Structures are given as C-alpha cells and as structure tokens.
Amino acid sequence: MSAELASTAKSVREFDVEKVRSDFPILQQQINGHPLVYLDNAASTQKPNSVIDAISNYYRTINSNVHRGAHHLSDMATEAFEGARQTVSEFLNSPKKEQILWVRGTTEAVNLVAHSWGRHNINAGDKILVSTMEHHSNIVPWQILAEEKGASVVPIPITAKGEIDLHALEGMLDHSVKLVSVNQVSNALGTVNPVADIVQLAKKVGAKSFVDGAQAVAHFPVDLVSLGCDFYAFSAHKLFGPTGIGVLWGKEELLDSMPPYHGGGEMIETCSFACTTYNKLPYKFEAGTPDIAGAIGLAAAIDYVQSFDRAQISQHENTLLSYCHELAAHCDGLSRVGEAENIAGVFSFLLKGAHPSDVGMLLDQQGVAVRTGHHCAQPLMDALNIPGTVRASFSIYNTKEDIDRLFAALDKVKQFL
C-alpha cells in the first residue's frame, strides 16, 4: 500500500450512528412537540457541522472572487475552489479534474447537455430514450429539445416490480436513437438501475448516454471509468452538501466539441467586438462568478462521507430498509409501491383509504417528516395508475427507532381513516 493510500485508510473512522447523528445539528430538535424523525432524504439530506463550518469559514476568512484577483484572499479562495473540483474528481474517479463542471444541480446539468450537445447532435427523426421512472428534470429538457428539432422522446418501459425492462430497451435500440438518459437510482421507487449495462447497450447503436446520479452518490461509490457513460450529474444537497450547486461530468472530447451554455466573464479567452474566443475546459461552461462557497461546502460533504467506510454506510442503510420492509409486511392496509430486487434508501407506499398528502400531514403532526405526491415523476405515477405515494427515504443518520416511530405514527393515522 502506498503512503498516500495508507494515510487515507487511517482517516476512515468506525461507523457509529449515534455519533453520526450528533454531527447534524438540525436533528436535535422537536417538531410539533415530538423529536424530529427526518425521512425525506431523497428530496434533500441534512448537513453536518463540518459542511456548515466550511461554508461559514469561507465567508468569515477568505471571501473573495476566484481566478482573477491579484491579492491573498483571491489566491486562497481560488485554491479552495479548485481544490473542491479535485475532490469531486477523485470522488467520481474522473480521468481529469477539468471534466468536472460546476452547475446549479442535476437539473441544470441536463439542460446544459440538452442545449450545448443536443442542439448540435439531435436532428429530425432522431430518438431520445428515457425510462418511465425518470424525474421531470430528465424528461422535460429533452422534450423541449425534441420539439425544436423534430425528434422524439420515447419512454423505456418498466416491469411490475419497478425495474427498467432491459429486454424492451434492447428492442427499442436502433441507429435512430442518439441518446439514452436514465437515473442510476429512482427518486420515487429507490430502484437501483443497471446503468453500466444500459450504457453498453446504447453504445452498440452509437448512442450517447446520460446518467442522473442525484440519488446514487450518497448511497454507494461511483466509478465513472467503470460506468462508461458519456455524461454524469449529481446535486450537492442530496449528498449532505449545500443547495444550489451540483456537478456535470462529461467525456473530454464531447465537452471540447460543445459550445458554451452561458456567455459572460470567465468563459472567454479573448473578447472583442470583432471576435470572441472561448476559454478551455472547464471554464468554458462556467460563466460569471461561481458558487464558491457551494463548491467548498460540497468538498466538505464529500470529505465527511469518505471519512467512513462506505461499505458500513451501505450495510447500515440496507439494514434499515430490510427492517422497514419487515414492519410493513405486518402493517394492515399498507401496500408497497416498487419492489425491485435492488433498492437504495427509499420506501414508497400507500395506505388504504387515505390520500398520500393526508398521511404526510398527519405524520408531520407527530414529528415524522416524509414526502408525498408524485415526486416529480408524474409519468411513472400514470404508468402505475396511482396519484402518488408516501415516500420515506433513509440516510446515514437514520435509525431503527426512526422506523419504529414511523410505523407507530402510521398506526395513529389509521385511527382517523
């Protein structure tokens, strides 16, 4: 083992959920007279002290613009900002840090690719395949592009269990398909999709691949070299980081070939009324003053996650999910929605005789925070012929006691039905 790897190994600490919970100040409060049980992690995770401190310390000590300043604070801010890019690069096993682009989140990443790659590569009659279980942000930008170009967005069917139907996908793939865009983990069902296999299927017909990793990165490691996709995106706020910042990764040759998404400062090499030339990667896609504190906060979040053995985190979350399924099997009137073989962190369900929004309101009165509705996945809900679900989603700081509280609260909800 190299000295660098040995040092990394020494920094990994034993996973202890009670110690983890103490790192998250928001969990130490009561809601409606009850200790908070936060089960809305698929929407947004809470932030540990180290992330809050990293953002605060930036503003307290080195707040300045990056890259162009000629003074100490700017140098320090630039070092931290670009250090964050390197942290993300290593986190995803990117071949180069220049392939890491700062965006506002996964939604902007999809829009960037649709605009800068799509408008130059999608033509009339072309097809873009997305799965039926996609978040709206991985549907609507492609629809806008397709309408403009005379192309079509075609849904990939899912099975009764809530998994992408790979057999159906194979039958849909031909040379009219230019892009396959799928999530790595479904935000509504928790299904972990076989994205490496999907990427390889797309390659057989020359199609590019986009992977929405927003729901994946907090639950298990991502290796972009092994995955083989052309584009990958995630949002910081689902990885214990701040809102308003995320990452788009792309293959270098594709990013080089794409025109800028926004124009302004930083993204130019030279600017004149006669001719403007564009900056090199990644700055070509980062017009204007970036979210410097957000990037630093994301790096702190990644450092926090990687301070643990990620296998222990996965084991903890899988134990919670199994325990939840066990209690659900004995809960009268409760039906699971989505029973894929491989699920990460999400338990979606319906309660007989109750609208999901009513269940969510009654759970909130007991201090249990869940998400209800269609989860920005209306085509999925239409395919399942339901209005929406109640979604409890788990993270690193949740416990079996949280799940006990959830089902005890559901028992009380049933008294109102």
| Domains identified in the chain and CATH numbers | 3-47+308-414 (3.90.1150.10), 57-305 (3.40.640.10)
Instruction: Specify the pLDDT at position 3.
Output: 37
Instruction: Specify the pLDDT at position 335.
Output: 97
Q: What is the pTM of this model?
A: 0.96
Widest Cα–Cα separation across the chain: 73
Instruction: Specify the pLDDT at position 72.
Output: 96
Long-range pairs of 224-228 with CB within 8 A, sequence gap ≥ 24: 224/92, 224/93, 224/94, 224/249, 225/93, 225/95, 226/93, 226/196, 227/195, 227/196, 227/199, 228/196, 228/199, 228/200, 228/203
Instruction: Specify the pLDDT at position 416.
Output: 83
The dihedral formed by the CA atoms of 289, 291, 293 and 296, expressed in degrees to the nearest 10: -110
Instruction: Specify the pLDDT at position 2.
Output: 36
Instruction: Specify the pLDDT at position 309.
Output: 96
Residue whose token pair is 């698929």: 42
Residues of the chain with pLDDT under 50: 1-10
Instruction: Specify the pLDDT at position 68.
Output: 81
376 is catalytic: yes
